[in-house]
Amino acid sequence: MRDRVLYNLVLFVLIIIACAILLGDLTDGYEARTIVNIGLNAMLMFGAFIAIFVGVGLVSKEIEKRTVFAIFAKPVGRSEFIVGKYLGLCLTLAVNVAVMGIGVSLALIYVGGTDLARTIWPSILLIFFELTILTAVATLFSSFSSPATERSCCSWETLNGATGPIGSTARV
């Protein structure tokens, strides 16, 4: 699974750099801002996919393969096992978000947005915090339900968080 995640990151960086080159001609003076918008949204989307699709299988795969019994035969508690799985996925997401942030920063530097390349890092940190919360929800569902149910619940939670409560209306 790690190899696929890294391949996705390389693809992500290439797409952002391609957008930097192509959008430079389409936007009159807003190249850097467009790259920031596309890059941060893509980071959140790819990160959410990684958190959901890797996170929901953390515990259920261990149970299906029966490797969890070998782990619990040692002096490891259930809470330590769950927290370890959660922290491991958070570390993986931290590396992925950092690599994607570097890709967006390089694309910004390429189009001349060096000021924006420095100032997007607080936003990238907040994206990482949002992904850790999503990872916690995915790990929670992974501990007691089937993978299909987990994916649908986490996807629903992500969509609900991204769009606001379903059924609410905005007043202007």
Domain segments of the chain: what residues?
2-158
User: What is the DSSP code (8-state) at residue 57?
Assistant: T
Which tops the pLDDT comparison, 171 or 80? 80
* Residue of 23, 45, 28, 42 lying closest to 108 (CA atoms): 23
Tokens of 172: 């202007």
Contacts of 85 (CB under 8 A, 6+ apart): 58, 59, 139, 142
Find the mean pLDDT for residues 149-168: 54
Which tops the pLDDT comparison, 97 or 168? 97
State residue 57 phi and psi, 5-degree precision.
-100, 5
pTM given for the model: 0.75
List pLDDT tens digits, range 102-152. 888 888 888 887 888 889 999 999 999 999 998 888 888 777 766 566 556
The yes-or-no verdict on residue 14 having pLDDT over 90 is no
Q: How far apart are CA 2 and CA 68, in angstroms?
A: 20
The yes-or-no verdict on residue 69 having pLDDT over 70 is no
